[in-house]
Amino acid sequence: MGILEKFEEFEGEGAKRYDKAVGRLSSLLYWHAIRDLRRFGVRGKYLEAGCGPGILAVRVARELDAEVTAFDLSADMVEIAKERAIREGVSVDFRVGDVENDYFGEFDVVYSTFSLHHWSNPEKGLKNLWRMVKPGGVLYILDARKEEFVGHGLRFEEFKSLFIHLESAERVEIRKRFPMMVSAVAVKGV
Ligand SMILES: C[S@@+](CC[C@H](N)C(=O)[O-])C[C@H]1O[C@@H](n2cnc3c(N)ncnc32)[C@H](O)[C@@H]1O
């Protein structure tokens, strides 16, 4: 098994391994996300898709004083996330769910980090997340970016093309982010 594949397993021991590795790198991995989400300046209800072990969801709830619901396909990840929230004394509503099919209600901000390139149908997943964004709300995605033969995740143009299907988007901004990341911000028209 290659070094990357070891962190591409999200059940059982894979979930525990991911939690440990990401716990150590979290300030680097979530630097853009925390900064971008803070800049939106939205108070209210947040939904995180593919939350993994819940490190970012707990930070968003605490640092942005947001009401956060977060879900993941892996029940093992959700268990780790729930334990983290209890340990850190932060309230987050963690659920098991599939980004492509499940509906959790309407939110002011819907966001996801490093998960999209794992979805079997990213276009369907984004469409599903988009219907959970309130009018005037924001969809924010941060993911790994592949450059030529280097890196992990989707290529920039591939990632960008997924966002042309969002109906009634008032503004869509796709940016390359350092290092080897890509972000999307889509604002829903009112
Ligand atoms: C690389 S991890 C990212 C976890 C976390 N967002 C982070 O930034 O560390 C990818 C996560 O996406 C989840 N995932 C994959 N497909 C999914 C789907 N269809 N619905 C919800 N979560 C999914 C996996 O279970 C895994 O926890």
The CATH superfamily of 27-188 is: Vaccinia Virus protein VP39 (3.40.50.150)
For ligand 1, the distance from its centroid to the CA atom of residue 174, given in whole angstroms, is: 21
Quote the pLDDT of residue 166. 94
Judge if the beta carbon of residue 99 lies within 6 A of ligand 1.
Answer: yes
Average pLDDT over residues 70-92: 98
What stretches of the chain show up as alpha helix (H) in DSSP?
12-29, 31-40, 55-63, 75-88, 122-130, 156-161
pTM of the model: 0.97
Instruction: Compute the distance between CA of residue 52 and CA of residue 74 in angstroms, rounded to an integer.
Output: 8
Judge if the beta carbon of residue 128 lies within 6 A of ligand 1.
Answer: no
- Taking all residues of the chain, what is their mean pLDDT, rounded to a whole number? 95
Instruction: Give 1's pLDDT tier (boundaries 50, 70, 90).
Output: very low
Judge if the beta carbon of residue 54 lies within 6 A of ligand 1.
Answer: no
For ligand 1, the distance from its centroid to the CA atom of residue 113, given in whole angstroms, is: 8
